[in-house]
Amino acid sequence: MTSSLQSTEERILKAAKKVFHRKGFEGARMQEIADEAGINKALLHYYFRSKENLFEAVFRDAFLELTGYAKTVFLSDNPIKEKIHKFLGYYIAILNENSYIPWFILNAIYTRPGTMKAIFDNAELNPPELMAHLQHQIKTEYGSEINPFHMWLNVLSLSIFPVIAKPLIREIFQLPEDAYKQILEQRKTEVPQFIANALKGYEQSDSMIE
Amino acid sequence: MTSSLQSTEERILKAAKKVFHRKGFEGARMQEIADEAGINKALLHYYFRSKENLFEAVFRDAFLELTGYAKTVFLSDNPIKEKIHKFLGYYIAILNENSYIPWFILNAIYTRPGTMKAIFDNAELNPPELMAHLQHQIKTEYGSEINPFHMWLNVLSLSIFPVIAKPLIREIFQLPEDAYKQILEQRKTEVPQFIANALKGYEQSDSMIE
DNA sequence: GATCGGTTAAACTATTTGGTTAATCTATAC
DNA sequence: GTATAGATTAACCAAATAGTTTAACCGATC
């Protein structure tokens, strides 16, 4: 039953993901990860010396995956509306399956800020480049000097918050899982539309200028 | 040094807030709360029998404070743009001082969903009423059948996410505390403008209809 | 000055938890 | 076949932690 399709290390990482994503560093138990991986607890320490190490590996994976795609999309050559649409599609798809990820990332940053800095630096996000790119694109497509940072932050907010807040909103509105899935599905088209409309609005009344 | 301006119970609650907000349930230590309150650990259990009880009290306070104001603002008689402005002003002000609150709320919901349900029910949020109110207002002010749920969720996203994600974004952009404070300050006017522009856009091209 | 609620200090319990160790198993090389 | 190195296990350890108990203390009030 050792299912050697995956190496032990892969099995551990997969199990660690599952547990850390749902419970964070403090809430996760090494024993639970071992059980989830179907191995002995000692073997966990054999592969990853400490809880800290294992957590870092899990965080790195999640962080690089999320930022990696965002970087690709935002720096691509598509028109803005298309970018936003792709971004939303990707995130909603991924996060529908694994909706704990953004919470997990935030959690890690809040509770273990020191540990994370090295990983940030590794991600090579180059924000100035991104901002310059967006600013240029906004000017070309909409003839407007909208502050690209606020624009970018708006896109992120509209994409990610509804996923993070899912359990809260589901509880408040008494929505079943499927209903919320459908709402997120709608947002794949609604949000780009919403933002495009806002951008049109700026053509007449310029604001959002720093 | 017993600073009897506050009752012991108040001192405990204040200390518990500070610790729970920053570390969540799992990360918080009863000893640390006792120290923070300047009292004995036994006294903690004398007032609040268990960690669970104390946590619930802290969560209740935070949750009711946050939702209470949101309810008031969204159901008030101001025009939409004004509502959004007020909402943002309030949240950015509160959360600038105490930026852990939204993370703490989410944290509680993710890690202790069972414990929270009773408190939800107690908050008397009445979402259908809110939605009906917003829908009517949007129609009156903008003559458009925009889905009020998406609109409401957009406002929340644009308001709350930038606060939750503060440590992440500060790290990515290498921004000092003050710079980010200033950004949030800008958003008090930028976001209502952004949304108003989007709403204007809907007057021509209707979407966001369910 | 006895009583009583609030408070402290300290020892203690029971349990959990990250981490370690020494032995065992398994597969490959010789 | 058996020696060897790596993978895996069961048992164990030390520290931390929530919660309890007990005895004493303090200040107000009766």
Tell me, what's the pLDDT at A24?
93
- Does A145 score more than 80 pLDDT? no
Q: Using pLDDT thresholds of 50, 70 and 90, give the confidence band for residue B209.
A: very low
Distance CA B138, CA B128 (A): 15
Rounded average pLDDT over B176-198: 91
- Residue among A24, A189, A197 minimizing CB distance to B202: A197
Q: Using pLDDT thresholds of 50, 70 and 90, give the confidence band for residue A144.
A: confident
- Does B3 score more than 50 pLDDT? no
**Cβ neighbourhood burial of B133 (10 Å; 0-12, 13-18, 19+):** middle
From the CA of B30, how many Å to the C1' of C10? 17
Rounded average pLDDT over B38-63: 91
Q: Using pLDDT thresholds of 50, 70 and 90, give the confidence band for residue B13.
A: very high
Tell me, what's the pLDDT at B91?
87
Token digits of residue A58: 């899990």
- Select from A131, A18, A159 the least CA-distant residue to B172: A131
Phi-psi group of B174: left, alpha or beta (phi > 0 → left; psi -120 to 50 → alpha; rest → beta): left
Tell me, what's the pLDDT at B167?
92
Rounded average pLDDT over B69-81: 89
**In the block, residue with structure tokens 């909603």:** A92
Token digits of residue A100: 């704990």
Strand C–CB B135 distance below 7 A: no
Tell me, what's the pLDDT at A1?
38
Q: How near does any CA of chain A get to the CA of B46, in Å?
A: 26
Distance CA A85, CA B142 (A): 25
Q: Using pLDDT thresholds of 50, 70 and 90, give the confidence band for residue B204.
A: low
- Select from B112, B113, B133 the least CA-distant residue to A171: B113
Rounded average pLDDT over A55-84: 91
**HEC-encoded secondary structure of A90-156:** HHHHHHHHCCCHHHHHHHHHHHCHHHHHHHHHHCCCCHHHHHHHHHHHHHHHHCCCCCHHHHHHHHH
- Residue among B106, B154, B165 minimizing CB distance to A194: B154
- Does A2 score more than 60 pLDDT? no
Q: How near does any CA of chain A get to the CA of B169, in Å?
A: 9
Asked whether the beta carbons of A6 and A38 are under 8 A apart, the reply is no
- Does B74 score more than 60 pLDDT? yes
Q: Using pLDDT thresholds of 50, 70 and 90, give the confidence band for residue A119.
A: confident
What average pLDDT does chain A have?
A: 88
- Does A210 score more than 50 pLDDT? no
* Tally: H helices and E strands in chain B: 11, 0
Tell me, what's the pLDDT at B123?
78
